[in-house]
Every structure is written in C-alpha cells, then in structure tokens.
Amino acid sequence: MFNRKKLCMLLLAVSLTVVLGGCQDGKAKGEGSQGNSGSQETEAEPTMGGSIVVGIPQDLEDSLDPHKAVAAGTKEVLFNIYEGLVKPDPEGNYTDAVAESHSISDDGKVYTFQLREHVKFHDGTEVTVDDVKYSIERCAGINGNGTPLVAAFSNVEKVETPDASTVEISLKEADTEFLAYLTVAVVPEHCEDLDKNPVGTGPFYYESRSPQENIVIRKFADYWDTEGQAYLDEVTFKVVGDSNAIVTGLKAGSLDMYPRINATQSAQIADDEDLKIYEGGMNLIQALYLNNAQEPFDDVRVRQALCYAVNRQEVLDMTADGKGTIIGSSMFPAFEKYYMPELADKYPQDIEKAKELLTEAGYPDGFEMTITVPNNYQQHIDAAQVLAEQLKQVGIQAEIQLVEWDSWLNDTYADRQFQSTVVGLDASYLSARALLERFASDSEKNFINYSNPEYDALYEQVTKSTDDAEQVSLYKEMETLLADDAANVYIQDMASEVVLRKNYGGYEFYPLYVLDMAKIYQTAE
C-alpha cells in the first residue's frame, strides 16, 4: 500500500505551486480567532482604507474580457471588477446588482429588469439599457458571428428596451434557471478593448497589470452600493509560482493573503501567530479526467477499472490530512438539492474487479498512460502521484506530465490533446446546469469528449423543463449516468484553507469560485 513516507519522497522531487479554489460555508480556525490557536476571540473592528497583497498561483489569462474568461483564477479576480444584473451572495442567493428589481414571466420565457438609477462604469459613464442590451446580445452571439460566448445564452431570442430603465430578455424556450446566468458581466457598449482594459461596475476598478508579476485593482469611489463599498483602497494580486515562496512570503510579510493553501503549507504556518487560516469547502470537482475518445479510455470497462483501482480516501489522507469530501459524479455538496452522496460509494476499491474488467477489455497486463497536470497546482500534482502509485496495483503504468498553465488551457482543455488529466472544475454559475452542461456531446466545454445519447436527451429535457422537482430528478439522472459510464475517476470536493494576516478580517466563502475582496478589511493596529 502507498504510504505517507512515499508521498513525501515524491513531493521532495517536485517543488511547485498551489491549487484551484472555490468556496462554501467556512470560518477561521478558532471561530475567527486572531491566530491559529483555536481561541474564540472575535475579529477586531474594521477600518476604512489600507491595502493588501494577495498571492495567486498563476497569471490571469491574456484577455481580461469577462465574457471570454475560461480559467477559474481569472474569474475570481474579475468578480471584483464586474457585476451582472444580479450577483451571488455567500448564502447562494441572487441579489439585484445593476438591476434594482426583476421579474420572470409565468411561462419562464421573459425576464424583465428595472435598472438601478445612476450606476456608473469605472470610466465615469452611467449604465444605460443599451449597455445591458449590448452585453446580453454579445453573450448570445446576436449581431456578432452568431456564436454565443456563453452557452446558455444560445436560448436568447431577443433583447428589448421598452423605456430608459427597462430591459426585457425573451427566450426561445422556457428556462426557469436562466437567472443564474444573468450574473454575467454588464460591460459598456463604447469600450472596444475589454481584453486589455476591463471596465465594469464593481467595487474595484482595474489599475494596472504586469504580466507574470501582478495585477492591481483599486477601490471605486462611485460604486452604487454605498453600504457595500470596499474597505480597502488597493488590492495587489501577486503571481507566486513556487510553493516554498508562498510560505516564505506569508511568514516574511510580503504576502498578506493566500487562497487555498495545501496541507503541507498549512502545517508550516499553523503555529504562526501573525496568520490565521479560514477553512471551508472548495466547491471544485477534482477528478482524473479521461479523454473518452482516445484509446484505451474509449472503452467503458477500462474507465470503470480505473475507478475500482483507486482508493479515494487514501488520496485525501495522503494529500490533505483526510480533509475534503469524496464524490462520485460532477456535483459538489454545496448544491445540496442536486447532490447524490450515494454515488461516492459506487466504486469501492476492488483490485480484482479492476483486473477482471481490464482483461475483458483486452488489457490483461495493464497499459501505459499519461496524466497531464498543470504545474502550478500542487494539490493536483499530489493527487496524481498517489493515483499513479495506486494504478500500479492493476498493471497500469502512469507517467505524470507537468505542463505550464497556459499549455494546459490551450492544449489539454481547448484542443483536447491529452489522455488523462488531474484538475478541478468549478460551476461558474449558481446552477446545476453549469456543472453538467459541459458533458453534452456538442458542448464546447466537453473537453473529455464524453458522448451518450441518453445523457444528451436528458440535458435537452431539463433545459426545457419549468418544474423544479422535475429538474432535480433529471439532473440526478444525468449525474448517475456519468457515474455509471465512469466518465471520469471522480475524487473529491477539496477542502479549502485560506490564509489571512491577523490584522485583516472579513473573509467569506461563497458557493462559487470567487474571491470577494470588497468584504476584506484591515483592522486598527
């Protein structure tokens, strides 16, 4: 059996970075204490002003256009710059943002929004119905090349502005889940270079960027929500691509915050009284993602064999001191009404069963495979190393290929040039669809090339349903199919540990992959 000593030896050979993140209900160790001692002290009163340096594991994408962003790390930064007609809150609700109010027709086909007065973009111009219309039509591919920038917006038939404060979005088919997607950013129609010059309505505006070094955002003084104004004047997101540098930076004071540290880093700073660790769920589907169109993973028996070969609890034990939630499909626990905990037990480790399936598939002696992993996410590297050791028990020799993040995005995700990969996928929107739509056969996000006509039929059915109970049932059927087909080797919703210097407070977890810097404050010395 693979043990912790072996893992430590493996990790000594790889000194790279950190993980994809996300969030859920969480609190600081010690219920918001000023250190990591487990005391019950409360955080000090917040003050206005100040700055913070936040470490991030990789640079943002080349484009900062919110409608084109793919990487979760890019989206979590842009969350502070942009807002939609509505926005999520930490409890998983939708609150009106650029819109002051909204209504949905009984047939689920018309969404009507009354805009807030005097909401300003960061360039000082006021948001108009034309800007909203432009933003929605841009996402829908209307008046463009016809290709939606956001898949759910392919259902948009037209956008009308009956008056200077009203926007009506008419859908081709009823969709009672569409509100979740209207968190998409409202952008100014007159700005032509959102790639390099993001202009939104959020609590922070874009200040500057130094590629591979940092991105700086500053408090927007004219933010519409006077009660929700950011405390901090400036936030610097600093790219830190080395695992050792993260700990060093936190201890030395060059970093004030780091989202989603790994277990090793947590242990290294646990006794530092100048730092505190917030714990929550990451809301991220970590899995060994398999290219279903490439041999040998085009055979369901091979994919099932891999599922039986691995021990998920051992992965958690070896990489995160047992923290995290084992999952069995592409749904995490934060989406409670859709989540099926029983699927986590579908493939208990059974080495003999795995060998039988491999023999049936024509691989009695196993085979060689490659696991591609982005080199800046240590938790995924750690998991891949444990999985590789476990797969040896059934004759599978797995080579771990570490690649740069940009290479992973372009070659693995976009071009689908891979056999398998360990990574984490988030939801992007507060909707079960946001997690499950990517596995429809014709989805541009379906990078594993999963194809099942039954799944496609269920997806088409759920997108047309207006009954909540029916939707829940259909989504659960889809999750079950992904598990039955062993589309991927599902591992866990990883635990999230966020480090914050003790003279800061206000961190909140969300049921989405976001980093809300408006709530972070500096306390009086």
CATH architecture, domain 4-16+282-495: Roll (3.10)
Q: Looking at residue 525, what is its pLDDT?
A: 63
Residue 24 pLDDT greater than 70, yes or no? no
Q: Do the beta carbons of residue 502 and residue 29 sit within 8 Å?
A: no
For residue 434, which of 63, 200, 182 has the smallest C-alpha distance? 182
Residue 30 pLDDT greater than 60, yes or no? no
CATH domain 82-183 topology: Dipeptide-binding Protein; domain 1 (3.90.76)
**CA-CA distance, 431 to 404, in Å (whole number)?**
30
CATH architecture, domain 27-77+197-280+497-513: 3-Layer(aba) Sandwich (3.40)
Q: Where in the chain is the domain with CATH 3.10.105.10?
A: 4-16+282-495
Kindly state the tokens that stand for 386: 């444990």
Write the pLDDT tens digit of every residue in 83-102: 999 999 988 889 999 999 99
Tell me the average pLDDT across 265-278. 92
**CA-CA distance, 404 to 16, in Å (whole number)?**
11
Query: What is the dihedral angle through the alpha carbons of 495, 184, 88, 241, rounded to the nearest 10 degrees?
Result: 30
Q: Which residues face 278 on adjacent strands?
A: 28, 498
Going by pLDDT thresholds of 50, 70 and 90, the confidence category of residue 240 is very high
Q: Looking at residue 464, what is its pLDDT?
A: 86
Going by pLDDT thresholds of 50, 70 and 90, the confidence category of residue 13 is very low
Q: Looking at residue 20, what is its pLDDT?
A: 40
pTM of the entire predicted model: 0.78
For residue 422, which of 445, 436, 402 has the smallest C-alpha distance? 402
3 state SS for 91-102: CCCEEECCEEEE
Please, what is the average pLDDT of the chain? 89
**CA-CA distance, 394 to 191, in Å (whole number)?**
56
Length of the chain: 525
Q: Where in the chain is the domain with CATH 3.90.76.10?
A: 82-183
Residue 14 pLDDT greater than 70, yes or no? no
